[in-house]
Amino acid sequence: MSISLFLYVNICCFEPFGSAVRRSKNPSRYHQYQKLRSNSSPSLSPPLSPSINQQFLPDIMTFATIPFEILIEICDYLHPSDLYNLTMVCKRYRSLLWDKTSTTTQLIWKSSRKNFINNLNVDPPGKMCEQEFIWLMLLLNKCMFCNQTDKFELTMHWEFKMYCCFKCLNERTICKLTLLQKYNFPEELLACLPQLQKNPNPRDPPLYLIRDVENLFKQYNYEKDKKNWVKERQDQIIKLNIENEQYNTLHDQVRYDHTERLERLLRKLHDFYSNNRT
């Protein structure tokens, strides 16, 4: 049986965001489908032969039992958003498509990303899987922490791997002055942290993720050779800052069209001049 026929029959009985129609558990649904096909107007495609109906339909109507080899071939034709939807069909699909360490799974997502998402030909950073990369870059359509969906209220902060509104960002970050003055945080450690320059004005103090500050301080206290550890960490952050800037730019190119990018830039300029009026 051809792949096209296989897809045709399964798509007819596939329910997005749900489970597949199982003929063995819901025979009436299967007979309704057959009746609908027989009563419909003539199609340009030839009808299925009786032998094909008898031999294949009872088996392939159970969508969740597709062999992994065939499923992997099907996935080559699916957009990343369709792959995400497919993970919600059943545990079996989720185990295949949600595996963050499987080479096969990562190749499925990578192939889909390169085939269907313009401008996203760059691979994810070191320890990030393809699923998370695609989710952050394109598919996430609301604040990670609340229900805000207005694009112009949301921003990607790749420094923290967060796509969120300003309110939620402020709740999870702390500024340089507060760290130094209120908490007596060692100034040399600031260069060991990813930082976010929230406003275009470089005179504004940068922000740091509270979780990063806490983890760094614990690790710093644990290290015996603190001087060398700080130097190594600072060198890592210098490289990471360059990488973060590149991914922030890439994100905007992927998620927003030209008009949206221009609108966001104009809003930034407006906010800058509004905040710096004397």
The whole-angstrom separation of Cα 178 and Cα 170 is 13
Each domain of the chain, given as residue ranges in start order, spans 1-65, 68-139, 151-275
The residues, ordered by sequence, that sit 6+ positions from 59 with a Cβ below 8 Å of its Cβ are 65
Q: Please name the residue that has the structure tokens 């691979």.
A: 123
CA-closest candidate to residue 68, choices 92, 46, 103, 88: 92
pLDDT tens for the chain, residues 1 to 278: 444 444 433 444 333 323 333 333 344 433 443 443 344 333 344 444 444 444 544 444 456 678 888 888 999 899 999 999 999 888 888 998 999 999 999 999 999 999 999 889 999 998 899 999 999 999 999 999 998 999 889 999 999 999 999 999 999 999 999 999 888 899 999 999 999 976 656 667 899 999 999 999 999 999 999 999 999 999 999 999 999 999 999 999 999 888 887 887 777 776 666 666 65
The pLDDT value given to residue 46: 43
> Residue 28's pLDDT is what?
46
User: Which amino acid is located at 117 in the chain?
Assistant: I
Angle at 115 between CA 113 and CA 120, to 5 degrees: 45
pLDDT value for 18: 33
pLDDT of the residue at 199: 61
**Rounded CA separation 74/85 (Å):** 14
For 137, the token pair is 């870059």
pLDDT of residue 212: 96
